[in-house]
């Protein structure tokens, strides 16, 4: 079953300052998920938080991958800023995705986040998300497809076109409310 993972900087503070931070973080994501068996379907990294849409291959895969990711990035960030202590606002929030509709809504919620935040006018202008892969076909070797995405069309072109059209529709207020207020599940330790 897929999971929407959310993690924020402590007190909603920025934890990504420059392009290099985003690049290093995403390389750490790729390493952690590969090591522990977590398939990443979508992501967005903002200045003070990140979202991942993932499917863990085992019960402990996600907690182990997240522990490695959060620890390694925290060490990197603290060294860069000559500081100590956590940079994260507690444990990451894992939210189960329980239906096909919710799966697509979650992916659009994640990838349209920079537009809702007013950072960019169009999602393809934001470089730190998986939107370019799903809507424009830009390769990302560590992203994994999903049957729900595959069902959007018979060919890659049809799938890209269908996904762009879904994103142009945006999300309803109801979709946003459901996505924002879903209750996180207790993650195994």
Residue range(s) defining the domain that contains residue 31: 3-180
Is residue 185 assigned to a domain?
Answer: no
Q: Does residue 95 lie within any of the structural domains?
A: yes
Domain count, the chain: 1
CATH of the domain at 22: 3.30.70.1290
| 119-160: pLDDT as tens digits | 999 999 999 999 999 999 999 999 999 999 999 999 999 999
Helix (H) or strand (E) holding 109: helix 100-111
* Distance of alpha carbon 97 from alpha carbon 75, whole angstroms: 31
Q: What is the mean pLDDT of residues 44-67?
A: 97
- Is residue 28 within 8 Å of 73, Cβ to Cβ? yes
Residue 187 lies in a domain: no
Residue 189 inside a domain? The answer is: no
Does 8 reside within a domain? yes
Report CA torsion sign: 61, 107, 43, 147: positive
Structure tokens at 103: 């799966």
Q: What confidence tens digit (pLDDT) does each residue in 78-112 have?
A: 999 999 999 999 999 999 998 888 999 999 999 99
Tell me if the pTM is above 0.85.
yes
Burial of 158 (0-12, 13-18, 19+ CB in 10 A): exposed
């Amino acid at each position: 079953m897929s999971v929407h993972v959310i993690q924020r900087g402590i007190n909603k503070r920025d934890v990504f300052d420059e392009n290099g931070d985003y690049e290093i973080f995403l390389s750490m994501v790729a390493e952690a998920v590969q090591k522990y068996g977590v398939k990443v379907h979508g992501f967005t990294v903002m200045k003070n938080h990140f979202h991942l849409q993932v499917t863990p291959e085992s019960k402990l895969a996600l907690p182990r991958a997240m522990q490695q990711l959060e620890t390694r990035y925290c060490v990197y960030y603290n060294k860069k800023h000559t500081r100590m202590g956590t940079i994260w606002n507690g444990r990451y929030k894992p939210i189960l995705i329980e239906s096909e509709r919710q799966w697509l809504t979650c992916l659009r919620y994640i990838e349209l986040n920079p537009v809702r935040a007013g950072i960019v006018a169009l999602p393809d202008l934001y470089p730190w998300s998986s939107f370019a892969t799903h809507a424009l076909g830009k390769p990302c070797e560590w992203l994994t497809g999903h049957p729900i995405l595959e069902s959007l069309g018979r060919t890659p072109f049809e799938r890209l076109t269908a996904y762009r059209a879904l994103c142009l529709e945006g999300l309803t207020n109801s979709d946003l409310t459901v996505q924002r207020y879903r209750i996180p599940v207790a993650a195994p330790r």
